[in-house]
Amino acid sequence: MDFTLASFVNALILGLSIGSIFLVAALGLTIIYGTAGVINMAHGEFIMLGAYASYTLQNYLGVPFFLCIPLSFVVVALIGLVIERLLIRYLYDRPLDTLLATWGVSLVLMQGVRLIFGSDPKYIQMPSFLSTNIAAGPISVSIFRVFIFLVGIGLVAAVWWLFYKTEFGIKLRAVTQNKEMAASFGINSGQVYALTFALGAGLAGIAGSLFGVLNIVLPTMGMGYVVEAFLIVVTGGGALLGSILASGVTGEAQSIFAYIFNDTFAQFLVFVLIVIFLRFRPQGLIATGGARR
């Protein structure tokens, strides 16, 4: 392998892109975990549903790609809402059981999609201008990766605005900090949790419609994302800022290791490093006030 400066800069840029993909994948999970403490193992399948929603909208109804993204949000958010009302809300005080139940949900969703759409890969088309590369000398980036990066920034900004600038955000933070106290101020924590869960699911839906373009759409595509997304949340410590930092760091690490070794070994190395990191800092990069573990 030739260690030229250009190829190294390319690796750094790719790392940024990988980080933004991690972040988009982990955003919904961070919100659900950070607010309600729910470990949602079906998060990967929510991403998968987002991809299938986009695929269906595009292929059967001819909806343009840019419209598919927000519509996937709506579809998956609604599915998330239903699941929260039917199942999750009974399990808020049983974290291990929530994990297991959502795992069951993930199994059912994956299998349901397989029964409806089959196991063969599907493809989401993107507008042609997104499929080109921008090049500056020896450095080149695909426009679609830049697009994901920008969407990532946009989503973070939107979530931040929602959390800190709206009435819902105030309620949400109140419930996160102290459920009983919030209840005494007349805040319906059940409602807040339900909406948060739907929001987190919807964000996974957006991730799905993007990842469906990046990779092929398969019923099993969620499996890979959920572990990575969780590592981001755990490494970050559960807060929004933590997840942003953690995705940046792991994205870069992954890209640089891949540059030195190869992709799979890079992934292995990153996982091992996270384990060692957690040994010394179990609360994650940014410790959230009330430690949940």
Partner 1 sequence: MEKNLYHNRLLQWLVYVVFFAALAVIPLVMDDAFLLNQLATYGVYGMLALSISLCWGFGGILNLGQGIAFGLGAYGMAMTMQMQTQDPEYSPIPPFMLNNGLDALPAIWEPFWNTGFGIALALIVPTVFYLIFGGLMFQARVAGPFFAIMTLAILSALATLFVDLQPYTNGVNGISPPAALDIGGFVIDPYMSTSYWVVFALLVLSTVAAKLLTQSRFGLIVQALHNDSERVRFLGYNVAIYETLVYAASGLIAAIAGCCFAFLTQYVSPAQFDVGFSISMVIWAAIGGRNSLLWAIIGAFLVQGAQSYVGDEFLNSWILILGFSFILIVRFLPGGLGGLAETLLGMVSRKRETQESLTVGAGEPETRGA
Separation between Cα atoms, residue 261 and residue 85, nearest integer Å:
46
Rounded least distance, CB 234 to partner 1, Å: 6
Separation between Cα atoms, residue 181 and residue 9, nearest integer Å:
50
Q: Please give the single-letter amino acid code of residue 53.
A: A
Does position 104 interact with partner 1 (CB under 8 A)? The reply is yes
x/- track of binding to partner 1 for residues 274-293 (CB under 8 A): xxx-xxx-x----------x
The CA R_g of the chain, rounded to the nearest whole Å, is: 19
**Binds partner 1 by CB under 8 A, chosen from 70, 112, 138, 290:** 112
Which pair of structure tokens corresponds to residue 64? 């343009």
Does position 108 interact with partner 1 (CB under 8 A)? The reply is yes
Does position 230 interact with partner 1 (CB under 8 A)? The reply is yes
Rounded least distance, CB 204 to partner 1, Å: 17
The DSSP code for 128 is G
**Binds partner 1 by CB under 8 A, chosen from 4, 114, 158, 177:** 114
Name the β-bridge partners of 136: 139
Q: Where are the beta strands (DSSP E) in the chain?
A: 133-136, 139-142
Site size for partner 1, by CB under 8 A? 40
> How many Cβ atoms sit within 10 Å of the Cβ of residue 225?
25
Separation between Cα atoms, residue 8 and residue 4, nearest integer Å:
6
Angle between helices 189-214 and 5-36 (to 10 degrees): 160
What is the per-residue burial (b if ≥16 Cβ within 10 Å, else e) of 28-64?
A: bbbbbbbbbbbbbbbbbbbbbbbbbbbbbbbeeeeee
Does position 55 interact with partner 1 (CB under 8 A)? The reply is no
Cβ proximity to partner 1: between 219 and 248 the closer is 219
Selected range binding partner 1 among 9-17, 58-66, 107-115, 138-146, rule: CB under 8 A: 107-115
Separation between Cα atoms, residue 26 and residue 84, nearest integer Å:
19
Cβ proximity to partner 1: between 42 and 69 the closer is 42
Does position 216 interact with partner 1 (CB under 8 A)? The reply is no
Cβ proximity to partner 1: between 143 and 223 the closer is 223
Cβ proximity to partner 1: between 168 and 271 the closer is 271
Selected range binding partner 1 among 99-107, 121-129, 157-165, 201-209, rule: CB under 8 A: 99-107
The binding site for partner 1 (CB under 8 A) comprises: 39, 87, 90-91, 95-97, 99-101, 103-105, 107-108, 111-112, 114-115, 223-224, 227, 230-231, 234, 262, 264-265, 267-268, 271-272, 274-276, 278-280, 282, 293
